[in-house]
Amino acid sequence: MSEKAFMVNNQMDKETPDSAYTEVMEKIACAATTSALAVPEPVLVAVSKTHDASAIEPFIQLGVRHFGENRVQEAEAKWPALKAAYPEVVLHGIGPLQSNKAAQAVALFDVIETIDREKIAKAVATEMEAQGKRPDCLIQVNIGEEPQKAGVVPTEVAAFYDFCQRELGLPIRGLMCIPPHDQPPAPYFALMRQYKDQLGVEVLSMGMSADYEEAIAFGATHVRVGTALFGERKA
């Protein structure tokens, strides 16, 4: 990394949305073209959790179309007005879901990335039926098999996918993961790519501010980037 790039990274809060967006898009393009897999350029999902509408709007104006929120309640407070103003926006639910929030999640999100257990899959399927709305769904994989982390363990992904698709009729488009944060992510990204290819699904959502370029090298189709765009989150 050049000295200049290093300084830019350390002055994140002084960056404008414009310069942060340009930098992230350049890195995405570069990671896609230099990948040995010759992967197509992935979709940027801007993770706007904790940031309010006034921080989000400049990114919509710059051309960002996909946004991610991890809390249903917070998303419900911010997004209905923004979606009314910008109907082209695609909103991703990227946080752990509880079954008592399934109705709101189905109503609000265009993509639910965190189908992570049978109970949630069933609750979401029931709500889709009731509302006549079918957001795209991803299965969250607990790729590091961490006890504290949500997601389906790797050995159960294929069976869970079949259950969701065949028994519940959920529109499962692919897989999502958050690898262990204290280890190099590359081996986990490589495994995710294998599972995606084995299932023959389209979408692979992986990579955050610290590692999205690496995720792209392993075939991420969607990267979820918060801090590198918006700066540090308020606690």
Ligand X SMILES: *Cc1c(COP(=O)(O)O)cnc(C)c1O
Bridge partners for 142 per DSSP: none
Between 52 and 162, CB nearer to ligand X: 52
Residue closer to ligand X by CB (options 94, 129) is 94
CB of 224 to ligand X, least distance (A): 4
If binding is defined by CB under 6 A, does position 32 make contact with ligand X? Answer: no
- Segment contacting ligand X (CB under 6 A): 16-24, 57-65, 78-86, 219-227? 219-227
| Location of structure tokens 């509302």 | 131
Exactly one of 39, 172, 192, 225 binds ligand X (CB under 6 A); that residue is 225
3-state per-residue secondary structure call for the chain: CCHHHHHHHHCHHHCCHHHHHHHHHHHHHHHHHHCCCCCCCCEEEEECCCCCHHHHHHHHHHCCCEEEECCHHHHHHHHHHHHHHCCCCEEEECCCCCHHHHHHHHHHCCEEEEECCHHHHHHHHHHHHHHCCCCEEEEEECCCCCCCCCCECHHHHHHHHHHHHHHCCCCEEEEEECCCCCCCCHHHHHHHHHHHHHHCCCEEECCCCCCHHHHHHCCCCEEEECHHHHCCCCC
**Under rule CB under 6 A, residue 91 binds ligand X:** no
Segment near ligand X (CB under 6 A); pick from 117-125, 163-171, 179-187, 218-226: 218-226
Residue 226 binds to ligand X (criterion: CB under 6 A): yes
Site string for ligand X, 41-80 (x = CB under 6 A): ------x-x--------------------x----------
* Cα–Cα dist 43/159, whole Å: 28
Out of 28, 112, 128, 208, the only residue in the binding site for ligand X (CB under 6 A) is 208
Question: Given the rule CB under 6 A, which of 85-93, 120-128, 162-170, 202-210 is the region that contacts ligand X?
Answer: 202-210
Please select the residue that binds ligand X; options are 53, 58, 227, 231, rule is CB under 6 A. Answer: 227
**Of 94-153, which residues contact ligand X (CB under 6 A)?**
94-95
Residues making contact with ligand X (CB under 6 A): 47, 49, 70, 94-95, 178, 208-210, 224-228
